[in-house]
């Protein structure tokens, strides 16, 4: 285990992001069940929100609490080389919009296609716009 403060801070951010992601998933699932009631659809959308919040909160935490001269998340050997903030925000947004659209009465198939399109376009755009 490293004694580097940046690594320790990343571990703390990672641990706390798990709690934030679980809470976001619970809120998304609970609100979806109250408004929509379709457990299969709500489960998938809430999972997208939770996974998105997990990725985005780690990215945000690393940017906020780790020194700017430290390596980016994508440069960590086990993290993967994609933009964690972009995928997180895209997934959370797509899941949230899917829940909202479905609660407004839009059909499940149309919402699913729209959510995938939103996630894809948001990821591509955000991966260019957001800093590493």
Q: Which position has the higher pLDDT, 130 or 97?
A: 97
Distance of CA 15 to the CA centre of its chain: 15
Q: What is the pTM of this model?
A: 0.85
Q: Does residue 65 carry a pLDDT above 80?
A: no
56 C-beta neighbours (distance < 10 Å), count: 26
Instruction: Take residue 6 and report the two structure tokens written for it.
Output: 């940046």
Instruction: Please measure the distance between the N-terminal and C-terminal CA atoms of the chain and give it in whole angstroms.
Output: 25
What is the distance of C-alpha 22 from the center of its chain? 11
How far out from the chain centre does Cα 80 lie? 15
For the segment 77-96, the average pLDDT, to the nearest whole number, is: 84
Task: Indicate the number of domains in the chain.
Answer: 1
Q: Which domain holds residue 113?
A: 5-129
Q: Is the pLDDT of residue 88 over 90?
A: yes
């Amino acid at each position: 285990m490293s004694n580097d403060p940046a690594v320790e801070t990343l571990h703390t951010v990672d641990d706390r992001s798990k709690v934030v992601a679980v809470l976001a998933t619970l809120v998304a699932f609970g609100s979806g069940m109250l408004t929509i009631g379709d457990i299969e659809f709500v489960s998938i959308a809430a999972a997208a929100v939770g996974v998105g919040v997990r990725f985005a909160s780690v990215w945000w935490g690393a940017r906020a609490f780790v020194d700017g001269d430290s390596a980016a998340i994508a440069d960590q050997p086990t993290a993967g080389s994609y933009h964690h903030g972009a995928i997180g925000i895209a997934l959370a947004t797509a899941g949230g919009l899917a829940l909202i659209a479905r609660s407004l009465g839009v059909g499940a198939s149309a919402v699913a296609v729209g959510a995938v399109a939103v996630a894809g376009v948001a990821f591509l755009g955000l991966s260019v716009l957001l800093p590493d």
